[in-house]
Amino acid sequence: MNTPGFITSDVHVASRILNDGGVIGIPTETVYGLAARADKEESVGRIFDIKGRPRNHPLIAHLSAVADPLQWGFFNVHAHALAAAFWPGPITLLVPKTDRVGDWVTGGRNTVGLRVPSLPITQLLLNEVDEAVVAPSANHFGKVSPTTASHVAHDLGSDVDCILDGGQCSIGVESTIVECVNNLVSVLRPGAVTAEQISRITGLRLVSDNSESRAPGMMVSHYAPNATVVLVASAEEAQSKAHAQNLNSGEWALLNNHDVEQYALTMYDLLRTFDIQAKKVVFAVMPESHGIGEAVRDRLRKAAAQG
């Protein structure tokens, strides 16, 4: 008999639990998700309860690469082009929803976030589910996203029916979110797919709008560890701030990496480690904004935001 929250690498076991209405942790190339079948309203409701997330915060629907995304959303010319260029991959397209998508997925909005993840084990799982699979990041609301199965077990443990182990996520920050409605294209959350790449594919200059009304959960403090996160420009600035605040070396930690991809890959795991070490303050050096650096900067700003 399986105990709740058990970790498995057997896709068939995980898909059976999903199809039976279970709520499970799933790996993706970005971060781990907390997943349920989109058509099972009660199971989707459990996701909000487990996370402690407001019901009006919409969920991303994940699709198999062989599914027809037009069953879930209406794609304008730009959405078509972006899907062709970047799916499967770390980009979520917000498009007008079809009737197939329940209001319990979108928080009553008329758009839906769709994503085709690229991680092979996730695709195998999605292929065994004849429906979209909704999944927010598998952490408590407002906290640091998980990038390994054991992070999910640590945060949500026995609240989930199982966790599918796909190893460490290869990107480490959440997908780029791009709204494609009324022939406009706006980046609502930066990620591994950059604004430059999106501009190149669509031929558009981009509107950047990450206001709370466009995508709930964007503006408030988010991705936050227990420690206070302080943004700095250099390791030297961190040193002198720690000194000025009379912090001893056990009380603070430095988050820094010159390689933006490595920064993204290790950031959440390090923030979790610093919490286990009960650090009071984490000084985070802001990386350069090229490539995925923009996404790292965005998450660090939110981790540092108060309230």
Write out the residues near Mg ion by the rule CB under 5 A: 137
Pick one of Mg ion, ligand TXA, none as the site partner of residue 37 (Cβ within 5 to 8 A by kind): none
Angle at 171 between CA 167 and CA 173, to 5 degrees: 110
Given the complex with ligand TXA, which of 96 and 280 has the nearer CB atom?
96
> Cβ 174 to Mg ion, closest distance in Å?
6
Q: Which of these, 129, 91, 97, lies nearest to 111 by C-alpha position?
A: 97
**CB 179 within 8 Å of CB 185:** yes
Pick one of Mg ion, ligand TXA, none as the site partner of residue 147 (Cβ within 5 to 8 A by kind): none
Given the complex with Mg ion, which of 136 and 287 has the nearer CB atom?
136
> Cβ 3 to ligand TXA, closest distance in Å?
24
> Cβ 184 to Mg ion, closest distance in Å?
24
By the criterion CB under 6 A, which residues form the site for ligand TXA?
A: 28, 30-31, 33, 57-60, 92, 94, 106, 109, 111-113, 115, 135-137, 174-175, 177, 215-218
**CB 82 within 8 Å of CB 201:** yes
Given the complex with ligand TXA, which of 33 and 225 has the nearer CB atom?
33
**CB 277 within 8 Å of CB 267:** no
**Residue in the structure block whose two tokens are 């969920």:** 59
Q: Which residue is nearest to Mg ion (CB)?
A: 137
Name the E strands within the chain: 6-8, 24-26, 33-37, 60-62, 91-96, 111-115, 133-134, 162-164, 176-181, 184-189, 207-208, 228-232, 252-255, 281-285
> Cβ 184 to ligand TXA, closest distance in Å?
14
In angstroms, rounded to a whole number, what is the distance separating the alpha carbons of residues 274 and 281? 9
> Cβ 137 to Mg ion, closest distance in Å?
3
Given the complex with ligand TXA, which of 102 and 217 has the nearer CB atom?
217
